[in-house]
Amino acid sequence: MEQPVRMDAFLTEDGRIKQLPKKRQARLAVLACLARRFEPGRIYSEKEVNLICDAGHTFGDCFLLRRELVDHGLLGRTPSGSRYWRVAQP
């Protein structure tokens, strides 16, 4: 049985990511917190995604977060990478 993720180990008090977990379950939980900063149904430019990711963490790598959100299916992206959107979660 999976244990609940202790989010305080990875998030600051104001909800910004301070560290990405190595374990998949915890990593997905932390990334889902960041994904909630994106409005469902809205299309974002790469620049807008970078700004939201920058505001959502403390370690200075918005590009890693953007890639992780896409790779884990939390954000969709056009093949050119010019448009992004939040993917509906079950």
Domain that includes residue 36, residue range:
7-86
3-state SS assignment for residue 76: strand
For position 66, which CATH number holds? 1.10.10
SS3 state of residue 68: helix
Q: How confident is the model at residue 88 (pLDDT cuts 50, 70, 90)?
A: confident
Sheet holding 75-77, edge to edge: 43-45, 83-86, 75-77
At residue 1, does pLDDT exceed 60?
Answer: no
Inside any domain, residue 18: yes
Instruction: Report yes or no on 61 lying in a domain.
Output: yes
> What is the rounded CA–CA span in Å between residue 57 and residue 19?
8
Q: How confident is the model at residue 90 (pLDDT cuts 50, 70, 90)?
A: low
pLDDT at residue 21, rounded to an integer: 94
Could you tell me if residue 68 is inside a domain?
yes
Count of structural domains, the chain: 1
**Would you say residue 1 lies in a domain?**
no
Determine, yes or no, domain membership for 2: no
Q: Which two tokens stand for residue 65?
A: 């977060």
- Measured CA to CA, the distance from residue 24 to residue 30 in angstroms comes to 10
16-73 confidence digits (pLDDT tens): 999 999 999 999 999 999 999 999 999 999 999 999 999 999 998 999 999 999 999 9
Q: Look at residue 63 and give its three-state secondary structure.
A: helix
Q: Establish if 14 belongs to a structural domain.
A: yes
Domain membership of residue 59 (yes or no) is yes
Q: Give this prediction's pTM.
A: 0.90
Within a domain: 73: yes
